[in-house]
Chain A
Amino acid sequence: MSDPRIMWRRALNYVMLTLTGIAALGVVSVLFFILGYLIWNGGKSLNWNFFTQLPKPVGETGGGMANAIVGSLKLLMLAALMGLPVGLLAGVYLAEFGGKTFSFVVRYTTDLLNGVPSIVIGIFAYSLVVLPVKHFSALAGGVALGMMVIPITVRSTEEFLKAVPGSLREGAMALGASKWKTIVTVVLPAAKAGILTGMLLALARVAGETAPLLFTAFGNRFGSPGFGQPTASLPVMIYTYAIAPYDDWHRQAWAAGLVLLGLVLVANLGARLLLNRGGAVRSV
């Protein structure tokens, strides 16, 4: 008991345990701190008008961000339409068909694409979509977000497909199913919950992106029907309102932050629910 080495070991053990515990607590408290701060500041300005009304002209108080909420949903829809199919198919290729060299290149490139700063993606979408038609549009924003959705979807799809046991593929092929039919009728359904989760998380991840929208979707004080006009979105709206010199705008920026975070949290919870219900991969 009194052996100093044992006492030293115990003390070290205790200290390290405490340190890791504090770090873990820190991680959790960061989220709760942000959430609490948002609710405290944003909750006050969050009312029904926020969801239903357009922004009021400068100088008038009140109004809402209905256009930004609709705009964000529109942008996410475009991003989903453009990014998810490509991501899904490329993920299927990597998991089921890919050879060695080409797969390596694709996988590596995907990871690089995932690491490209979002502002650079924005510039790219700007020169690709905005410059030729000479005005900002929801379409351009959708392209930018879609490009960010692709790599996340590719990798999550690949991982979940790889977790499907090979015996299921063999079973289908032994019954005369072609490779493609095996994938469509057995492998994809088995990994469905996991793949959908990955997609949901990818969309949740880009929902809060601001930089790629600044010079693609730009922004709008009004509703923008269709996909060819400058479109408001929650993150850009937060940015604009937060740096404006009006107290009322600051309050609305907080409210928008709260709504955006709520959206992302709901998506995450939905993904978790999907996973728990269906299992990431259904196997024996």
Chain B
Amino acid sequence: MWSVSEGSHATAAKLAPKVPMNETRSMASEKETPVRFQISDLNFFYGPKQAIFGLNLSIPVNRVTALIGPSGCGKSTFLRTLNRMNEIIRNTRVEGNISLDGQEIHGMDVVNLRRRVGMVFQRPNPFPKSIYENVAYGLRINGYKGRLDDLVESSLHRAALWEEVKDYLHKSAFALSGGQQQRLCIARALAVNPEVLLLDEPCSALDPVTTAKIEELMFHLKDSCTMAIVTHNMQQAARASDFTAFMLDGKLIEHSETSKLFTTPKDPRTEAYITGRFG
């Protein structure tokens, strides 16, 4: 009897250090400017066609980093390398390093990575299920055994949707408006408590009022979440982000604090783009 319980204690002690998340989080917060994603010398290929050229970028913890640039400059492709979503596409290849809290993401279990790095897409893509089941989906597939109700409610609160849907939780998600659906998708991503939220033009299909709601929601999420947002809307980048990266033809042209990039851009191409001379 005793030896059995001792044995199980020993196993628990051995297992404990294998959970690196809290450790790296505390390490990061001790630093001066903690970095969540460190990207170095990133190249990306669709078959023979190179889409990203030698990109270096760091994405700071609990800040919003905006990625701007003309269509086809590779900003969405770049965003999708951060949770390895490009792996779904055949014949793609990545070179270079991407580390999340100091850990190379290509060595990670992809399920684990995507649990830590959530994503919101351009068009709202709720599942053909109830509002409740949409939010609970990530928890269910990850085998979460606790009380779902509380987490569903808190996730909907964080996505600023709770008040609008609390009486319709078991109605189909398709009954919601486009903006509500997009916030539902944000709530769905937040439910698994990700460290990072990737937003791929989340407002391009929404009206200005809803867009403002989502920007406000992003502002509040900064307490707990690192965000990277791809946007075509430069006002949005200026309003909602702390750092902005400008990309052109698969290369990172300029990256600095948003206020600096929009007022005193160093590169003439950045200036041309933000003043609307191309793109």
Which stretch, A7-15, A35-43, A165-173, A259-267, touches the partner chain B?
A165-173
Chain B residue with the shortest CB-CB distance to A174: B119
Q: Which residues of B contact A284 (CB under 8 A)?
A: 123-126, 174, 181
Note all chain B residues with C-beta closer than 8 A to A276. none
Could you say which of B112, B126, B129, B137 contacts A175, with CB atoms under 8 Å apart? B137
Interface flag for A61 (CB, 8 Å)? no
User: What chain A residues lie within 8 Å of B110 (beta carbons)?
Assistant: 176
Query: How many pairs of A and B residues are in contact by the CB < 8 Å rule?
Result: 74
Contacts of A171 in B (CB 8 A): 121, 125-127, 185, 188
Task: List chain B residues, Cβ under 8 A from A177.
Answer: 111, 141
Quick check: is B85 within 8 A (CB to CB) of the other chain? yes
Interface size class of A (residues with CB under 8 A): 20 to 34
Set of chain A residues within 8 Å of B129, measured between Cβ atoms: 189
Contact residues, B100-139 vs A (CB, 8 A): 110-115, 118-119, 121, 123-129, 137-138
Q: Say whether B128 contacts A283, CB under 8 Å.
A: yes
In angstroms, Cα B188 to Cα A186, docked, is 14
- Is the Cβ of A175 less than 8 Å from the Cβ of B121? no
Closest to A182 in B: B141
Which of B85, B125, B126, B188 gathers most chain A CB within 10 Å?
A: B125
Whether A178 pairs with B111 at a CB distance below 8 angstroms is yes
> Does B19 interact with chain A (Cβ within 8 Å)?
no
Q: Say yes or no: B128 contacts A190, CB within 8 Å.
A: yes
Q: B192–A186 contact, CB under 8 A?
A: no
Tell me if A175 and B185 are in contact (CB < 8 A).
Answer: no
Q: Which residue on chain A has the smallest CB distance to residue B113?
A: A176
Instruction: Using CB atoms, name the residue of chain B closest to A279.
Output: B128
A174→B85 contact, CB < 8 A: yes
* 0/1 interface trace, chain A 95-121, chain B, CB 8 Å (1 if under): 000000000000000000000000000
Query: Whole-angstrom distance between the alpha carbons of A161 and B121 in the complex?
Result: 21
CB distance from B175 to the nearest CB of A (A): 11
Residues in A with CB closer than 8 Å to B88 are: 169-170, 173
B142 on interface, CB distance cutoff 8 Å: yes
B121 touches A176 (CB 8 A): no
- A interface, over-half SS: helix
A96 to chain B, nearest CB (A): 11
Q: Which residue of A lies closest to B192 (CB)?
A: A175
CB contacts (< 8 Å) of A190 on chain B: these are 127-128
Is chain B's interface secondary structure helix, strand, loop, or mixed overall? helix
How far is the CB of B187 from the nearest CB of chain A, in Å? Answer: 12
* A282 sits at the interface (CB 8 A): yes
Give bound CA distance, A100 to B259, whole Å.
49
Interface residue? A185 (CB, 8 A): yes
Q: Is B189 an interface residue (CB 8 A)?
A: yes
- Per the bound structure, the CA–CA distance linking A189 and B128 in Å amounts to 8
User: Any chain A CB within 8 A of the CB of B155?
Assistant: no
Q: Is there contact, CB below 8 Å, between B138 and A175?
A: yes
Q: A170-B85, A176-B192 are in contact. Are A165 and B141 (CB under 8 A)?
A: no
Smallest CB-CB separation from A171: which chain B residue? B125
One of B83, B111, B141 near A185 (C-beta < 8 A): B141
Query: A181 near B: Cβ within 8 Å?
Result: yes
Given known contacts A185-B137, A185-B141, A284-B174, A174 and B118 CB-to-CB distance under 8 angstroms: yes
Pair B114/A174 contact, Cβ less than 8 Å: yes
Q: A181-B141, A189-B128 are in contact. Are A174 and B189 (CB under 8 A)?
A: yes
Residues 165-210 (chain B) with a chain A CB within 8 angstroms: 174, 181, 185, 188-189, 192
Nearest A residue to B116 via CB reads A176
Shortest distance in angstroms between A35's beta carbon and chain B's nearest beta carbon?
Answer: 37
Question: Which residue of B is nearest A175, CB measured?
Answer: B138
Considering only CB atoms, which chain B residue lies closest to A167 in the complex? B125
A41 to chain B, nearest CB (A): 47
User: Which residue of the partner chain A has the closest CB to B128?
Assistant: A282
Q: A175 contacts B124, CB within 8 Å?
A: no
A175 to B127, CA, bound (A): 12
Min C-beta distance of B220 to chain A, whole Å? 22
B115:A168 contact, CB within 8 angstroms: no
| Chain A 247-260 near chain B by CB (<8 Å), digits 1 or 0 | 00000000000000
- Which B residues are CB-close (under 8 A) to A165? 125
6 contacts between A and B (CB under 8 A): A173-B85, A174-B121, A175-B189, A176-B113, A186-B128, A284-B124
The 3 lowest CB-CB distance pairs between A and B, nearest first, are A282-B128, A167-B125, A174-B119
Task: Spell out B's residues near A (CB within 8 Å).
Answer: 83, 85, 88, 110-115, 118-119, 121, 123-129, 137-138, 140-142, 174, 181, 185, 188-189, 192
Known A168-B128, A172-B127, A177-B141; 15 more pairs at CB < 8 Å: A170-B119, A170-B121, A171-B127, A172-B141, A173-B85, A173-B88, A174-B83, A175-B114, A175-B115, A175-B188, A176-B113, A176-B114, A181-B141, A189-B127, A284-B126
